[in-house]
Each structure stands twice: as structure tokens, then as C-alpha cells.
């Protein structure tokens, strides 16, 4: 009764003695399998799954196949390698990942079209999207297409201009490099081609793929219900309001996706809401983040007003207008607020150790000082013993937090 399976790194020395017959017998038992993912080190399995004998006789319920392009495939690979996918009775989704300097491209035209594949995802593609078009030529019935490249600000212009009008979902992703105060990146907008895709209901945009006048081409997509923005793919708040909730907004829009955080987060917020803990690999830098963790950024990028307060207000307005807001933006708010609070607490700790609340009053007002004093049970005059429970609690807390 297995419905989902993921296999990786099975081609070790001791496994090479397995015959194709044994592998075929293995697949013949998976009659209920619906989703199959073959990762690295599974070349023999990939070749078997792409063979006619498996496609015709086994895996009758398989509707989603995902695999990494094997390193031993020639480049550009011949589209005939994929030709038997049409023989799977239920297969409709294909996810391909490529690594290294290779490209998604095909040197065979006129081959049998993979008409059963309605959903295609290509990850790891390089900047040569003209070559990618040659691969897409083999899929003539696509309804959903996702493109993800590891280059910065991918040039999807020519590719989008050649996409079939049958698409109802289009996802464009690239590696964002935008940082605070960084120079503007080389944009490669392709929004001039969006009006061709009149059946789009879902559109997800990466950094640099659209212009400030995005609202004009999107108005020519009568079925658009979901609009997503990837990390770094931002407009100023005024433009976003016009696009989403303004008088000339997209009339059929139901959901907006803001993915403003990529990867893991440097904070973990305790369930009771009373404390904050750091990742175990925490480094004593200004951002309090361990390796591989990053801070969500809500800074005005080169004149685009994308500060956290503005974005929070925008998200609130969008919700009040009856439109769902999804994506990492919500987690980003939690993380950013917790990080800002730690900075405040560290600053307060330094002041409290000196017993001088004047600076606190100047920054945050008298009410904040009273609340702070009530929470810690202290007065303006410093305690000099340094040994009572309250002193020890403060010393331990701010020794931990006071590394700014």
C-alpha cells in the first residue's frame, strides 16, 4: 500500500550485483505507488523507470515522478530518453533537477510529444534559457510550469515569450542577491509577455522579472487568482497597494504570497511566548545568527519603502480586503520582532546594570520605564549587593543577552 517513495544513494559497490530482473520485480510490487522521487546515486533505477517495460506493465497509479539528471547522461541529452513516459497510464507530473555546468536542452525535434505531462518542474537550470526552450518543445499540453535557476536574476524573457498559452500556473525563481544598500541588480523583466498567457490563474515571480508597471500586463490576465513574490522580488508599498487593494486592483485576486525569507531562521521563539532561544550554532555577531541562518530584512531598498512597519500595515490592509496573505512573510515578522526585542533588551541591560534609566526614558518614554521596573522589581537606584536573587537573575540574563 506504499503511495509515496523516495530513494537515494543505492548504487554502492555491494549493490551493483542487482540485476534488472530483480529491480523490475521490486517495482512490480508497488502497484499503489503515486509519487516517486529518485535522488542522487540512483542512475540504474532512473534508467529502468524510463524504460518501456516498466512504463507499460508496472506502477499503474504513478502520477508524479521526480529525479536528478544522472551525471553520465550525454549533453545535450536526447529527448528520446523521456519518450516512454507517455506509456505510464497515470503519470502527469515530472520534476527534473540538474546540477553542475550542464543545461536542460535537447538535440532532437520531431519526437513524440509528452502530451500526458501537465505539470513540469525544472530546477537547477542555467542562464541559457534558449536551450531550455528546446526541452519545453517536447511538452505540448503543459498546464503548470515551475522554473528554478541558481543564477542571479535569471533572464526568462525569451523563454516566457515562447511558453504555451495553455498554462494555468507559472513559477519563476532565481537566486536573490539583494542586500541592504546594495546596488540595483541587472533586471531582466519579462512581464511584457504575460498577457499572452491568458489562462494563468497562478503566477509566482522572482527578483528582476518584472517592471514597476507590473499592474498593466497583469490586468490582461482575466483568470489570475494567486500572485506570488519571491525573496528580493519587491515593489514599493504604494505600488503593491495599487496592484492588490487599490481602486484598479486585480479584480479576481484571492491570494498573495510574500516569500521574504529564504532558508532557515536564526531565532526560535518559545511556545509560551516569554522567552527566546538561539540556534545551537549561534555566533556572537551583531545579527545573532549561526552558520546558514539569516535575518529577514525589511529595509527600504534603494528608495522602495519596504520597511517592516509599512509591510505589516500592507498585510493588514490586504487581509481586511478579504485577500489571503501566505508565504514566509508571517514567520519573518515574528523573527524580526524577536530580534529587535533582543537588541532593546541588551541595550536596557547595559543601562540597568548602571542603574540609570534616563536614557531609557528618553528613548521609550516613562510608561515603558515603569513597566520595566515593575517586571524586574527594581527602582531607579541601583542595587549594589550583586548577590540577591534579583541581582543574580539580572546578571545571568544580561551576561547571556548583553553581547551587542
Total domains in the chain come to 2
In the predicted model, what is the mean pLDDT of the chain?
76
Q: Cis peptide before 288, with omega less than 30 degrees from 0?
A: no
Residue 264 to residue 261: CA distance in whole angstroms: 8
Q: From 292, 271, 296, 270, select the one nearest 281 (Cα to Cα).
A: 292
Residue 274 domain-assigned (yes or no) = no
Domain presence at residue 319: no
Tell me the per-residue pLDDT of 95-147, one tens digit each, with 9 for 90 and over.
998 876 666 767 656 567 899 999 999 988 765 667 788 888 888 899 999 99
The secondary structure of the chain in percent helix, strand, coil, rounded to multiples of 5, reads 35, 15, 50
Say whether both 155 and 18 belong to one domain.
Answer: yes
Question: Which of 195, 223, 257 is where one domain is finished?
Answer: 257
State whether 151 and 15 are in the same domain. yes
d(CA 171, CA 132): 15
Q: Give 172's strand partners.
A: 147
Q: What is the mean pLDDT of residues 160-185?
A: 74
Q: What does pTM read for this prediction?
A: 0.77
Within a domain: 83: yes
Position with higher pLDDT, 14 vs 34: 34
Q: Shortest CA distance to 86 belongs to which of 59, 106, 113?
A: 113
Q: What pLDDT sits at residue 374?
A: 72
Query: What is the model's pLDDT at position 322?
Result: 95
Other residues' Cβ atoms within 10 Å of the Cβ of residue 63? 18
Label residue 230 by pLDDT band (50, 70, 90): confident
Helix (H, G, I), strand (E, B) or coil at 25: helix
Looking up residue 57, the CATH number of its domain turns out to be 3.80.10.10
Q: Are residues 253 and 350 in the same domain?
A: no
Structural domain contains residue 61: yes
280 in a structural domain: no
| Residues 73 and 214 reside in one and the same domain | yes
Domain that holds residue 360: 340-401
Q: Is residue 82 part of a domain?
A: yes
What values do phi and psi take at 321, rounded to 5? -85, 0
Neighbouring-strand partners of residue 95: 66, 121
Examine the domain organization and report whether 35 and 155 are in the same domain: yes
Say if 296 falls within a structural domain.
no
Residues 224 and 349 in one domain: no
Decide if 306 is inside a domain. Answer: no
Amino acid at each position: 500500500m506504499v503511495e509515496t517513495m523516495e530513494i537515494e544513494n543505492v548504487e554502492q559497490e555491494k549493490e551493483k550485483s542487482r540485476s534488472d530482473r530483480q529491480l523490475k520485480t521490486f517495482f512490480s510490487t508497488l502497484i499503489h505507488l503515486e509519487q516517486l522521487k529518485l535522488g542522487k546515486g540512483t542512475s540504474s533505477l532512473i534508467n529502468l523507470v524510463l524504460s518501456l517495460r516498466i512504463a507499460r506493465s508496472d506502477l499503474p497509479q504513478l502520477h508524479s515522478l521526480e529525479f536528478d539528471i544522472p551525471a553520465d547522461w550525454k549533453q545535450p541529452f536526447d529527448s528520446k530518453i523521456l519518450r516512454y513516459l507517455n506509456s505510464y497510464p497515470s503519470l502527469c507530473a515530472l520534476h527534473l533537477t540538474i546540477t553542475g555546468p550542464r543545461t536542460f536542452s535537447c538535440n532532437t525535434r520531431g519526437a513524440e510529444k509528452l502530451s500526458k505531462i501537465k505539470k513540469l518542474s525544472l530546477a537547477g537550470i542555467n542562464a541559457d534559457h534558449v536551450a531550455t526552450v528546446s526541452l519545453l518543445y517536447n511538452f505540448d499540453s503543459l498546464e503548470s510550469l515551475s522554473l528554478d535557476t541558481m543564477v542571479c536574476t535569471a533572464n526568462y524573457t525569451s523563454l516566457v515569450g515562447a511558453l504555451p498559452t495553455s498554462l494555468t500556473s507559472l513559477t519563476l525563481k532565481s537566486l536573490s542577491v539583494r542586500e541592504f544598500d546594495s546596488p540595483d541588480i541587472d533586471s531582466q523583466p519579462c512581464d511584457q509577455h504575460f498577457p499572452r498567457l491568458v489562462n494563468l490563474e497562478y503566477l509566482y515571480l522572482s527578483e528582476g522579472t518584472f517592471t514597476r508597471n507590473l499592474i498593466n500586463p497583469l490586468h490582461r490576465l482575466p483568470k489570475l487568482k494567486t500572485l506570488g513574490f519571491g525573496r528580493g522580488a519587491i515593489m514599493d508599498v504604494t505600488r503593491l497597494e495599487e496592484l492588490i487593494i487599490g481602486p484598479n486592483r486585480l479584480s479576481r485576486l484571492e491570494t498573495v504570497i510574500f516569500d521574504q525569507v529564504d532558508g532557515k531562521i536564526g531565532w526560535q521563539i518559545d511556545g509560551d511566548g516569554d522567552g527566546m532561544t538561539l540556534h545551537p550554532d549561534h555566533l556572537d555577531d551583531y545579527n545573532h545568527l549561526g552558520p546558514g541562518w539569516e535575518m529577514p530584512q525589511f529595509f527600504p531598498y534603494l528608495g522602495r519603502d519596504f520597511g517592516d512597519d509599512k509591510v505589516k500595515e500592507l498585510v493588514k490592509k490586504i487581509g481586511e480586503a478579504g485577500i489571503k496573505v501566505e508565504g514566509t512573510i508571517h514567520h519573518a515578522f515574528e523573527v524580526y520582532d524577536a530580534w529587535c526585542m533582543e537588541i532593546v533588551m541588551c541595550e536596557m541591560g547595559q543601562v540597568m546594570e548602571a542603574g540609570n534609566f534616563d536614557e531609557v526614558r528618553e528613548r521609550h518614554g516613562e510608561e515603558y520605564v515603569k513597566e520595566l521596573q515593575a517586571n524586574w522589581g527594581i527602582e531607579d537606584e541601583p542595587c549594589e549587593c550583586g548577590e540577591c536573587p534579583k541581582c543574580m537573575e539580572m546578571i545571568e540574563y544580561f551576561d547571556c543577552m548583553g553581547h551587542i
